[in-house]
Structure 1
Amino acid sequence: MLNRTVAPKIIDPVQFDIKLPATKKYKLANGIEVFALDMGSEDTLMVNWVFSAGNWFENKKAVASATNYLLKNGTSKRNAFEINEHFEYYGSYLNRSCYNETAEITLHTLSKHINELLPVVAELVQDAVFPQEELDIYIQNSQQRLKVNLQKGEFVAGRLIDAYLFGEKHPYGTYNELGDYAAVQREDVVKFYNEYYKEGRCVIFVAGKLPIDIIDTLEKYFGQLPLKPRMGGAEVIQHPIQPADQKKYEVLNDPNGVQSAIRIARPFPNRHHPDFQKVMVLNNVFGGFFGSRLMGNIREEKGYTYGIYSYLLNFTSTSGWMVSTEAGRDVTAETIKEIYYEMEQLRDEPIDEEELSMSRNSMIGSILGDLDGPFQVIGRWKSMILNNVDEHYFDRSVQIIKTITAEELQELAKKYLVPEEFYELVVI
């Protein structure tokens, strides 16, 4: 019998033996890969179609995002209202998202309704008609949303820092202006749809309590479509990186603003570089969680900001290392000074064991949270698959978190936390 007078033994997360639940891989008749994870006790299901259809592939600004958004706004059989009503009738949710390399359709539903919903998703992939009136509404709404966002310093900072790192013409650095939306024509959208959706490259992820015939059902509705496997994605089109020559910028966005948006960033290799996973640990110490050095110094001690974080950009082709915060206009210079001070400290002195242990436990705890449920687990798999890393990448990451030394982290800091390599942007 459990003795409740004795406290249970406390075990640090780093002592846990963490394993990523396995997925099963299938191929449909047309070569489309399906990664399936049968996990969970609730009768819920997520199906995620990932197309090589991000802005990496567009020849005209805003076309990729417009195409992705308007997929749900009409086919030859149903108008936008009827499509939305169909998914709502079954208590499901269909979302669209457009990123740099990829664009997605994601369905959340009860498992028992999948046969009523998959045919309609297939209809969107093969028979979207993009009514002119829906495109006009999209353009109007996008322009209005952009006008509002351009008044926000943090939004402007996010646009500009990526442009400085990668170049305004690179898919990672480009940003839309009001005129770019107005220039989108229906024929642009239809052409992009035909090439990158109807006959595009696709991979499917499915997770939850899977029906026993889920692969046969996907084969029925998607295996016979003129889709192609995901191989030959973003790497088939090359975009040269053209970073800005200048390293420091200050932009006045609101003359009466009392707060500035600060972005300090440098280019960084992608996940295939041997230092990437190790730098994730260094980043966590630097600014990756609430107990980080940046947070302790600039938020807790100085009170310059409500929050400050550093992170590696989630891009496939290449990456970047970013520090992001908003601070009072009167303490902007001091905030930047303290960011560089923390870089210097990491270069000059090894991290003590207590701080490193706290950072390790934070990272392992975060991973445990990411594995809490089938949708989170398949998200981990999707990230690895789309970044073309093998199934051992997860295990290596956990092992590095548990074993990397303070000396190794100091060497990485000397190599990468070099102020001269960072772009510095302040938007007031």
Structure 2
Amino acid sequence: MLNRKQEPDIHDAVDFDVTLKPYESFTLDNGVPVYTIDGGAQEVLMLEWVFYAGNWYEQQNIVAATANFMLKNGTAGKSAFALNEHFEFYGAYLNRNCYNETASVTLHCLAKHLPDLLPVVAEIFSESVFPQNELDIYKQNQKQRLEVNLKKCDFVSNRLIDEYVFGIDHPYGKYTSTKDYDALQRESLEAFYQQFYKNGRCMLFAAGKLPADIGTQLNKVFGQLPFNRTEMPAVSHAFTPATEKKYRIINDTNGVQGAIRMARPFPNRHHPDFPKVQVLNNILGGFFGSRLMSNIREDKGYTYGIHSYLQNHVHSSAWMISTEAGRDVCEATITEVYKEMQLLRDEPVDAEELHLVKNYMIGSVLGDLDGPFQIIGRWKNYILNNLTDAWFYNSLQTIRSITAEELQALAQQYLQPDDFYELVVI
């Protein structure tokens, strides 16, 4: 019996033997790869269909995002209301999301309801019709939402900093305007849907307490659909970053708060420095005990929170620092950020701080692997970025073994003020 009068032993997370549960996989008759993680105590599961249908492949701005959103807004046999009623009747959730390279449709449901739900998901992939009235409502709602958001300094800053780093014509740097919504036509959505969904490239991820015949069920419903029969078009986009590095924009003359974004281009996950810089990033601003938080929030009181992170892009990334601060202290906040960068360049991280960050990062990995949904999510990220479990274990080894001298050298290479774009939107 557990002795509750005796304190449990305390162990450092860096000493744990962290493992990534391997996925199982099979292929449907039409070549769709299926990756599965079977586990969990409850009779629930998640299925995620991932299509190469992000804005990387669109010829007209926001066609990809609109086509993805409207998948649930009507098929040849069901209205938008009927589709939503069907999933709600079975207590299921069908969500869709559009990203840069990919777009996804995700189903959460009880395993016993799969026979009633899978055919309707297949209907969405093969018979969506994009009703004109639904498109008109979508355009009106999106324009109203955009007009509201454009009054918010943080929304404007998020749009502009990506433009400066990648270029307005690059998928990572594009943003929308009301004119883009006005230009949307049903025919453009149908053409995109036909190429990238109905006849597109698809992969499927499944996690949870999976039924024993999950492969049979999926193959019966989706194995004959015309997925993966054609090659994806070869699409490339040139980076056209801004030449100017410092921007100060007044979005609201009466605004009392400014949104600060500082960013520099950075390679993708295949660069050997990426795992090492993740450690350096956590020291700088990657968690609540970081240097930026300790200085700018705890000591100076300029902000409620400040964070730094590496963007999750496939082809290239960016190192971003993000915060909102009082209008009168925005410049002082930027000055303090550069001071913290200089300290990392000039002085090695002390052993206690480095040990704290290593424990935090390993502990975060443990938390991220708590359950089948989280595990399949990490595998999906690796697969879409053309990585294997070797990257996972190499990253853990990097966290455990990286030295203060290595971090200082990385700071001297990557934390140079002249490399960062600065943006303040008030």
What is the TM-score with the length of structure 2 in the denominator?
A: 0.99
Could you report, residue by residue, the CA deviation over 1:75-118 in whole angstroms, capped at 9, with x for unpaired residues?
A: 11110010000000000000010111111100000011111101
- Indicate the residue corresponding to 1:312 in structure 2: 310
Is contact 2:50–2:202 with CA below 8 Å preserved after alignment? yes
- Indicate the residue corresponding to 2:158 in structure 1: 158
Is contact 1:202–1:229 with CA below 8 Å preserved after alignment? no
- Indicate the residue corresponding to 2:115 in structure 1: 115
Distance 2:43 2:319 in 1: 40
Q: For structure 1, list consecutive stretches of 5 or more residues without a partner in the other structure.
A: none
Any residues of structure 2 matched to 1:25-424 within 5 Å, and which? 25-228=25-228, 236-424=234-422
Tell me: CA distance 1:16–1:425, structure 2 relative to 1, closer, same or farther (3 Å).
same
Which residue type is aligned with residue 391 of structure 1? D
Alpha-carbon distance, 1:3 to partner: 3.7
> How many residues matched?
426
Is contact 2:122–2:221 with CA below 8 Å preserved after alignment? yes
- Aligned partner of residue 389 in structure 2, secondary structure: coil
Distance 1:172 1:323 in 2: 17
Tell me: CA distance 1:116–1:143, structure 2 relative to 1, closer, same or farther (3 Å).
same
Which residue type is aligned with residue 280 of structure 2? L
Is contact 2:280–2:411 with CA below 8 Å preserved after alignment? yes
Could you report, residue by residue, the CA deviation over 1:364-410 in whole angstroms, capped at 9, with x for unpaired residues?
A: 11111111111111100000000001121111111111111111111
**Percent of aligned pairs sharing the same letter:** 60
Could you report, residue by residue, the CA deviation over 1:167-226 in whole angstroms, capped at 9, with x for unpaired residues?
A: 000000000000101100000000000000000111100000000111111111111111
Is contact 2:199–2:229 with CA below 8 Å preserved after alignment? no
Is contact 1:32–1:230 with CA below 8 Å preserved after alignment? no
Alpha-carbon distance, 1:361 to partner: 1.0
- Aligned partner of residue 369 in structure 1, secondary structure: helix
Distance 2:133 2:8 in 1: 64
Alpha-carbon distance, 1:320 to partner: 0.3
Distance 2:399 2:210 in 1: 33
Distance 1:391 1:202 in 2: 22
Distance 1:170 1:426 in 2: 22
Is contact 1:32–1:229 with CA below 8 Å preserved after alignment? no
Which residue type is aligned with residue 310 of structure 1? S
- Aligned partner of residue 415 in structure 1, secondary structure: helix
Alpha-carbon distance, 1:151 to partner: 0.4
Is contact 1:203–1:229 with CA below 8 Å preserved after alignment? no
Alpha-carbon distance, 1:7 to partner: 1.5
Distance 1:319 1:231 in 2: 26
Is contact 1:72–1:83 with CA below 8 Å preserved after alignment? yes
Is contact 1:203–1:230 with CA below 8 Å preserved after alignment? no
Tell me: CA distance 1:281–1:418, structure 2 relative to 1, closer, same or farther (3 Å).
same
Distance 2:264 2:384 in 1: 23
Alpha-carbon distance, 1:4 to partner: 3.4
Query: Is 1:9 matched with 2:9?
Result: yes
Which residue type is aligned with residue 371 of structure 1? L
Could you report, residue by residue, the CA deviation over 1:124-177 in whole angstroms, capped at 9, with x for unpaired residues?
A: 000000000000001001101100100000000000000000000000000000
- Aligned partner of residue 326 in structure 1, secondary structure: strand
Is contact 1:312–1:322 with CA below 8 Å preserved after alignment? yes
Which residue type is aligned with residue 314 of structure 2? T
Q: For structure 2, list consecutive stretches of 5 or more residues without a partner in the other structure.
A: none
- Aligned partner of residue 197 in structure 1, secondary structure: helix
Alpha-carbon distance, 1:43 to partner: 0.3
Could you report, residue by residue, the CA deviation over 1:236-290 in whole angstroms, capped at 9, with x for unpaired residues?
A: 3100000001000011100000100000000000000000011000000000000
Distance 2:89 2:9 in 1: 49
Distance 1:231 1:270 in 2: 24
Is contact 1:52–1:230 with CA below 8 Å preserved after alignment? no
Which residue type is aligned with residue 216 of structure 2? D
Distance 1:229 1:405 in 2: 49
Tell which deviates more after alignment, 21-30 or 280-289: 21-30
Alpha-carbon distance, 1:6 to partner: 2.7
Is contact 2:246–2:422 with CA below 8 Å preserved after alignment? yes
Distance 2:373 2:2 in 1: 34
Alpha-carbon distance, 1:5 to partner: 3.2
Alpha-carbon distance, 1:29 to partner: 1.2
Which residue type is aligned with residue 203 of structure 2? V
Alpha-carbon distance, 1:25 to partner: 1.3
Distance 2:41 2:399 in 1: 31
Which residue type is aligned with residue 327 of structure 1? A
Which residue type is aligned with residue 6 of structure 1? Q
Which residue type is aligned with residue 202 of structure 2? C
Alpha-carbon distance, 1:231 to partner: 7.8
What is the TM-score with the length of structure 1 in the denominator?
A: 0.98
